Amino acid sequence: MAKIKKQYGLAVGIAMVVGIVIGSGVFLKAGKVLSLTGGKLWLSLLAWLVGGIIMITSGYCFAVFATKVKRYNGVVDYVEMSAGKRVAYHLSWLMNTLYYPTVASIVSVFASAYFLNLCGYEVPIIYALLGQWQTYLIAFGFITVFAVLNYFSPKIAGKFQVSATVIKLIPILVIAIVGLFAGLIKGAAGIGNAFSQAGTDAEGVVMNFGEAVKTTAFAYEGWVCATIINAELKDSEKNLPKALTGGTIAIVIFYIIYYIGISAFLGNGGAVNANANAPLNIFNMMMGVFGEKLFCVFIIISCLGTVNGVTMSTSRGLYTISCRGQGPAPEKLSQVNKDGMSLWSCIFGYFFTVLLLVIWYLANTEVSFFKYLGNMDAIVCALIYGTFIVMFVHMMKHFTDLPPFKRWVMPIIATIGCSFFVLVGVGLFQFFNELIMAGAQSRPVSWPVATQSLKEFAVWLGLFLVINVPSIFFYNPNAKGDVDKAGFVEGE
């Protein structure tokens, strides 16, 4: 039987971290986070910083685990060490049926929306295209292309990931750097005004810091996907920690300077009103219609880089279960081709990505209870962070050889951050925050505001149960897979 190849270097590892995280979220969430922080730039930057600190500290702890565990699927291996095989098994099902497919399907939709805009399908805002069936048909095409590419040529998929990462940084850096001098451009607000003037006059501005941090979850998510190629990464004990720590820190820096640039160009109110169209408007200010279309090309490549990176994870998902002797027909499904790819694992990931694409369409067209799944991306991301807490506790209890900073400081910060993410993900923070604010302001409680996130979580939980309950019947407590065997060969 063919074996897994060590076919990726540090560049692919960093590209998996940076290239997956910086996809559509960086371009789509700026206006929403500003609107949820009362149009105040400093407070929105604080929300991004809180989300970024959670990502950096979690990534740092993952990097520590990467130096101690060398097996097939990083995050599942780390949780297995910390909480046992059963917990790791169910986490793997959650990630491969909901987490990876949700991210891949949603980002493919935004790639499609910008593609339609590039082709002349003019709409006031990009979000207006999310209810059009054409958007989802093109997204289905993108998903299919990358599923096929990752099965037949994983090396080319890896090279595309590196190239897309470099290309997607261009518009971010342009807006960030030129934003420093935005005051010299006609119609631009300037940095000073961006920090001194709140965009309270913009439509939809509210004050909900917890929801703002929750919104950053999707924009920061994806870095954990890099751990799934752990066994295929050359010198993984050194390269994976470098990719995780360096990549996550770079992302936060890119995001902060990018969002300052957005507000410097459009002003806070303008950024809120423009929402997902904000970067298009900025390139239009700098270069006219040509600049707007050029940016569309950049963002399409950016989104497709994320779709490809997450597909690299979905195509390996079922294999990481089967090689442990778990799941349906593990002996058959753990077989790989000459490139180290499992056909059934690729089909499994492709099926659930398409399924989540359909659900995302139903959510955006507000069909029945599906209308409550519009934030399913942030919910699943927040809950995934919750599972990391068992790892951080394990670090503090058992990694006695580590210095205090690694053993205590970073895991404690990461645990606090992940716990906060879980609270906002399930809606408890928003619920109690509304009760407290109503009492402090001597006003009636707005129950729609207090309970909206709880309703969204309840519906998502129903979806989770429908999709993941079958996994219970495929768990074998006595399974002995080949995940502990060497089974890895060095690539060229």
**Is the CB of residue 255 less than 8 Å from the CB of residue 219?**
yes
Report the percentage of the chain scoring pLDDT > 90: 39
**In this structure, which amino acid lies at residue 48?**
W
CB 79 within 8 A of CB 88: yes
pLDDT at residue 464 tops 90: yes
Asked whether residue 261 is assigned to any structural domain, the reply reads yes
What pLDDT shows up at residue 393?
96
Question: For the chain, how many structural domains are there in total?
Answer: 1
Contact criterion met (CB below 8 Å) for 175 and 10:
no
pLDDT at position 492 over 80: no
Q: Average of pLDDT values for 412-420? A: 93
Q: What is the pLDDT of residue 231?
A: 65
> 3-state SS of 442-475?
CCCCCHHHHHHHHHHHHHHHHHHHHHHHHHHHHC
Whether residue 483 is contained in a domain is answered as: no
Report d(CA 25, CA 33) in Å as an integer: 11
Highest mean pLDDT among 228-242, 286-300, 421-435: 421-435
Calpha distance 354→280 (Å, rounded): 29
Average pLDDT over residues 356-374: 95
Query: At 109, which CATH number?
Result: 1.20.1740.10
**Which of 340 and 395 is assigned the larger pLDDT?**
395
Mean local confidence (pLDDT), 78-92: 92
Q: Are 60 and 413 in contact (CB under 8 A)?
A: no
Q: What is the mean pLDDT of residues 226-254?
A: 80
What pLDDT does 73 receive? 62
Is there a domain that residue 184 lies in? yes
> What tens digit of pLDDT does each residue of 44-75 get?
999 999 999 999 999 899 888 888 876 666 78
Mean per-residue pLDDT, 5-23: 76
Binned at pLDDT 50, 70 and 90, residue 200 comes out as low
What is the CA angle 277-283-287, rounded to 5? 145
Q: What is the mean pLDDT of the chain?
A: 85
**Quick one: angle between helices 410-426 and 41-66, nearest 10?**
120
CB 67 within 8 A of CB 420: no
pLDDT of residue 227: 73
Instruction: Determine the length of the chain.
Output: 492
Residue 484 lies in a domain: no
Check pLDDT > 60 for residue 178: yes
pLDDT above 80 for 232: no
Phi and psi at 328, nearest 5°, equal -75, 130
The overall longest dimension of the chain from CA atoms, in Å, is: 70
Give the least confident one: 67-81, 277-291, 377-391: 67-81
Using the predicted structure, report yes or no on whether residue 272 has a pLDDT greater than 80.
yes
In a domain, 448, yes or no: yes
What is the predicted pLDDT for the residue at 296?
87
Residue 418 CA, chain-centre distance (Å), reads: 15
One-letter-per-residue 3-state SS of the chain: CCCEEECECHHHHHHHHHHHHCCCHHHHCHHHHHHHECCCHHHHHHHHHHHHHHHHHHHHHHHHHHCCCCCCCHHHHHHHHHHCHHHHHHHHHHHHHHHHHHHHHHHHHHHHHHHHHHCCCCCCCHHHHHHCHHHHHHHHHHHHHHHHHHHHCHHHHHHHHHHHHHHHHHHHHHHHHHHCCHHHCCCCCCHHHHHHCCCCCCCCCCECHHHHHHHHHHHHCCHHHHHHHHHHECCHHHHHHHHHHHHHHHHHHHHHHHHHHHHHHHHHHHHHHHHHHHHHHHHHHHHHHHHHHHHHHHHHHHHHHHHHHHHHHHHHHHHHHHCCCCCCCHHHHCCCCCCCCCHHHHHHHHHHHHHHHHHHHHHHCCCHHHHHHCCHHHHHHHHHHHHHHHHHHHHHHHCCCCCHHHHHHHHHHHHHHHHHHHHHHHCHHHHHHHHHHHHHCCCCCCHHHHHHHHHHHHHHHHHHHHHHHHHHHHCCCCCCCCCCCCCEEECC
Q: Has residue 182 got a pLDDT over 80?
A: no
pLDDT score for 141: 97
Task: Tokens for 312, please give them.
Answer: 């690299």
Greatest mean pLDDT among 96-105, 282-291, 299-308:
96-105
pLDDT score at 124:
53
pLDDT at 26: 75
pLDDT at position 485, please? 42
pLDDT at 328 over 60: yes
Tell me the residue type at 125. Answer: I
Q: Tell me the per-residue pLDDT of 139-172, one tens digit each, with 9 for 90 and over.
A: 999 999 999 999 999 889 888 887 888 888 888 8
Q: Which of 485, 472, 480, 468 is nearest to 86 (CA)?
A: 472
Average pLDDT over residues 263-276: 83
Q: Which pLDDT score, from 0 to 100, does residue 32 have? A: 84
Assess if residue 439 is contained within a domain. Answer: yes
Nearest to 238 by CA among 464, 70, 434, 39: 70
- Compute the distance between CA of residue 155 and CA of residue 165 in angstroms, rounded to an integer: 16
Banded model confidence at residue 483, pLDDT cuts 50, 70, 90:
low
* In-domain check, residue 102: yes
Q: What whole-number distance in Å separates Cα of residue 301 and Cα of residue 362?
A: 26
For residue 157 the two structure tokens come to 């998929």
- Check whether 306 has a pLDDT greater than 90: no
Evaluate whether 101 touches 255 at the Cβ level (below 8 Å): no
Residue 117 pLDDT more than 90? no
Q: Mapped to the 3 state alphabet, what secondary structure does 46-113 carry?
A: HHHHHHHHHHHHHHHHHHHHHCCCCCCCHHHHHHHHHHCHHHHHHHHHHHHHHHHHHHHHHHHHHHHH
Has residue 492 been placed in a domain?
A: no
Query: What digits encode the pLDDT tens for the residues 427-440?
Result: 999 999 999 999 99
Task: Name the residue with higher pLDDT: 484 or 26.
Answer: 26
| Residue range(s) defining the domain that contains residue 174 | 4-470
Q: Pick the more confident residue, 9 or 321.
A: 321
Residue 489 confidence (pLDDT) above 60 = no
Indicate if the pLDDT at residue 491 is higher than 60. Answer: no
- Taking the C-alpha atoms of residue 350 and residue 287, their distance in angstroms, rounded to an integer, is 39
Question: Can you give the pLDDT at residue 241?
Answer: 83
Predicted confidence (pLDDT) at residue 1 exceeds the cutoff of 50: no
